[in-house]
Structure 1
Amino acid sequence: MPKVNELNEIRASLVALVGQLPHLPGVYRYFDAHDQVLYVGKARDLKKRVSSYFLKNLSSPRIAMMVEKIHRMETTVTRSEAEALILENNLIKALKPKYNILFRDDKSYPYLKITNEASPRMTYYRGAVDKKHQYFGPFPSTWAVKESMQLLQKIFLLRNCEDSVFLNRTRPCLLHQIQRCSAPCVGKISEQDYLADVENAARFLRGRPTEIMQSLETKMYDFSSRLEFESAAMVRNQMAALSKVLHQQSMETSGDADIDILAVVVEGGRACVNLAMVRGGRHLGDRSYFPAAVEYSQAALEGEMEREVLSAFLAQHYVDQFIPAQLIMNVELDAPELMLALMEQCGHRIQCSYQPQEQRRAWLDMAIKGAKLSLARALTEQGAQQLRTRALVDVLELEVEDLSTLRVECFDISHTQGEATQASCVVFHHHAMQHGEYRRFNIKDITGGDDYAAMRQVLQRRFEAFSVVENQAEIVSESNVKENERVMPDIVLIDGGKGQVEVARQVFAEYGLDLSLIVGVAKGEGRRVGLETLVFVDGRESKELGKESAALMLIAQIRDEAHRFAITGMRAKRAKARQTSRLEEIEGIGPKRRQRLLTRFGGIKGVEEASVEDLMTVEGISKSLAEEIYQRLR
């Protein structure tokens, strides 16, 4: 522990450094005595914000605890607070500071896309949006997108088939027969009428049903006046379908408002933010988020943690995401700097409402209820997981004072008949799978299908940093070894029987490591779940835990996750090896153009990284084709 005089000197140097900071926007970082990042924050005025941490009386015990650990700090000046907001969140995601509330980076929201073609089609879409096509969303879930697509098919009969199918039809498909598509592929509808249906679908998604009904009514009377009663009847049916949908839409509201409803609930040391989305006046559903690094304190001021969690969510979620003009929240937020930064980023005003009325009140109440239900479910699952961790510790007779510190690493091998062999390592820690610490290992220089050699290689690469030299464990500390890889697990779980476990024993014996850490999971008769046997190499007898064992449930969860992770990695590696076929799937890219692209950019990776302008320099690649290649390969 540092001496009192040393702490006073550190505090004095920090205060002196604060006095030299400029009155400019920027980002600050605090580090502890071990040079680990404690906290990352942004400020509209660096000097004013950072100096507030060194006041004598801090309102938050959590912040006071952090300030006591600060040994040094770094600052970065930015051109604007919006730029500081982006930098702050990039650093939080990269460094994962202990005292920052961290939300999982889940920005891959789905959209409904209507293409810009002679006969546009609607499709489900994830990824970066562009100005070439129409995108509607984002939607909170895949289900919400597909439900909207079904509505459009019922009312406006839009196509959703691939261009390769659309361009080669000679007769209508089944969707036309069940009245879900107007069959523009074979001319069952004129191009003008189809485009009118596409425009009406876009209006519907923007929340303008009144305009659509007026347009359809005018169209129906027009057909009737020309005695085209069959066409008039089709429009009448379309109006009836639209009226039925609007009547059934219990979440309907007037106007075409885009609103996000945010409800935050903190309980039992955990927090949940429930985000509900309204787009074009239609409620599209909700999604719950659970931040990490929430240290709940009963001594904190009432409502303080809720405000802190909500501020963190707003900053991290909307930093590079669509921000609607209206936000409805259940916690009143006093963060003018944050809101100014978000408005500067999105380019429009953001109205915050905390006491909504009528329909919006109902939306907020539903979001609060959703947050409470999701948090209760998470706390129940957390309790069950803690019981499983305790059961595993008891079964393996481990001496662990704090169950949350138990670290299990599980290894598995995956390949397809010897092709694209990969090993996976998944991590269980703090009663949960730690996805950010998973690793894949490409296995090289072995005979295809030799699982034992593959297991030997991955274990050597993982644990060579812990080899014992002169009876002292020396941990490799090179910069290419990640921090979590310098930690020795409490259990090394091997997905396999005696053969794989024997390989693990040999590797551990070679490095002088503790053999009691190795636990093999041998599959039971017929590979039936619940009949697995635990295999040891330190003299202990094998154990059959039985189907009802909580310890076996946890082992099976970790083992299955390792298997899933290995398979997905293997498939990705195999697909990459065969990746040139992705160019062949793009319409307009034949063998000659594909060869020119691969030659020009040195392979498929170079083509993926090329800009639209670079792609246009290749003979035979027009601007539209270059844009299509650019989008498809991303």
Structure 2
Amino acid sequence: MRKLPTKPGVYIFKDEKGKVLYVGKAKDLRKRVTSYFKSHALDAKTLRLVSEAKSLEHIVVASEIEAFLLESRLIKKYRPFFNIIFVDDKTYAILEINKKPIPYVVISRKMGNKNAVYFGPFTGITDLKIVLRLLRKIFPYQSVKTHSPKRCLYYHLGLCPCVTAYPENLPQYKKNIKSLISFFSGGKDKVIKSLRKEQDEYVKKEEFEEAGKVQKKIDRVAFITQENYDPFKYEEKPDFYFERIRAEVSSLAEISNKYGLNVGDLHRIECYDISNISGKNATGSMVVFINGDADKSLYRRFKIKFKKTPDDFAMHREVLQRRVKRDDWEKPNLIVIDGGKGQVSTALRVLAEANYQVPIIGLAKREETIVIPIKTGRELDFIEVKLPHSTPGVNLLRRLRDEAHRFAITYHRLLRKKSSAL
């Protein structure tokens, strides 16, 4: 059990003949699987599962939503005995997307409507509702079969197009339904590609406000799935998670070396971010990726001590000064700064003052631009590299940046909560 990763994924119990007995998902594979063997409060069905299971397989994925979708696909494929009896003779939840005449999206228990597309079965109706709640903010949809001709509450919340009240919304609404179907079919990249095409059309017409709305949809799709990969590839290649990690590391090394950083082996990468509100309860974070994968045991957080006003450069300076003094921490092969030229310049000065030689790059938030410092004679200059979002190395940088941001803001909220309680 100790060899299981503490990552999201799907686990599969099999009997002595290799037949699939049960498929489950987990936010933390090790913790979830271990609970089957450590808990003293297991019901009779679970005890029977544990006694009959002779082998265990697992597939690591990048996010809980990927685990949710993959679990559903594997249950549909194998129809495991214990998945069926664990629902107490009830049928699993099925997502129904009816396409005619006015589309609607509902959770059902059976299939049979010729005008509908079905997805599932899903073991947890709560999980399905959470995913739908997230997606509805991006692609508003009608959640009842017959809608009132009047505006509903969800329309005012931006969650329903109310086509019966506003027929002119139907063309855009059909695009939303198409995107939902693509998403649940495992085509997240297809959804984003379609949205980018729609955004380009608005830009050509100089309808920048509408283009901005589409960009928010793109950002939200990327956020809830975390990474630009098809979750169903895990079924074809159970080691796909690790393959893509290796590809990301190799890609980032290639990008870095191309622009003169000479990083060599990217065994350890550190990424830094700052979080504060008007300088108050300011925090810094250091996240560490080993061979392209997060190692949370090596994360460190910093409470900013010397700056009480908003100054991102000074705060980065303080965090890095404290970091380079730690000889007991392994030296990184690359440092990534969440920011642009100013933040990277600050980091370079700190390292130069400490004679701490490590390559540095930045990732600017606005356009996901990679900021690479170069020296032209005695002068310091920067190359700004804009690569496609699908580039594996860019995805690794985004994962680093997003994790550093999450870790910093979590500590900032903790400090803010403590200060407000005083």
Give the TM-score normalised by structure 1.
0.33
Bigger-Rg structure (1/2): 1
Higher relative contact order, structure no. (Cα contacts within 8 Å, ≥ 6 residues apart)? 2
Give the TM-score normalised by structure 2.
0.48
